[in-house]
Structure 1
């Protein structure tokens, strides 16, 4: 995303919070495609029979985000961090509903995790609810690492954006990502391969 677009999102967020309805419409135009890109990445590894499509995910996340102008967003980075939380919650709700419908058939909502998320090499398919449980376990062990992994996976924020949002250094983000990814590999029984970051 270009720097001037980054600034535009922050300006539009503030204008909308102050009552500018035109800013609301413009904000939707500016962020919608980015949210779609995030949703496509998050659902890319899911099996074809998965009923939740990227458009449905981003539409629901967008509606939750735009539910009220009282949201205390500070800027673009904070906005996408909030979007990440909503996307995770929507995916969890969908995975639980899918499991309830398929009870007895043993079908769960499966996602494919690649090395950008868990490190190592290759890809790994896992149950989304198991992934969520692993993230919650990680949060109990190291809340900062869990938050950073969540932001990296569900919002698509780069290391610099995560550092800016959390008010920490990029090397700290890197250390937390290494720890969090190693934790998830162990929790999800993913082969470490030859990941140079661990």
Structure 2
């Protein structure tokens, strides 16, 4: 049980296609929070694939396990008072729902943010060269291309990053956090 004097954090789960802008938005939000003296932690899916989820592949079961591990880590950090910004594809709705349920059971705020960048815009950005490598036949199973991405149907916030600069998106996430913090202590 969390005592009244324990700071409460929250998890902001940014989900979207590869190269949609999740990590860029998370970094911009973290900067805003830190400038106000708040503890902000970024959990980036690519970084965690090399550490916490090293050894997992890209089957549905492995992707679900990756999301479960990241969700548990986010909940732990948020329980300790951090605002946790998770930037991860998390392609399956059921896995994201389990993370939400984990947070709810622990009394931790969980905000799902759908970074709704169209596939053609993501492919043009191609920050990591995934779309190019996929088109060249180097691998199969690219989320949103030949592996499913189940877009959130009722996210707490939808960001259309192809129309707005990153600061507009960061401000929207910050405002969402502000609205939630009014009803919670974090």
Q: Above 0.5 in TM-score?
A: no
Q: TM-score if structure 2 supplies the norm length?
A: 0.30
Q: TM-score if structure 1 supplies the norm length?
A: 0.28
Q: Which structure has greater strand proportion? A: 2
Q: Which structure has greater helix proportion? A: 1
Larger-Rg structure: 1
- State the structure with bigger RCO (CA 8 A, min sep 6), 1 or 2: 2
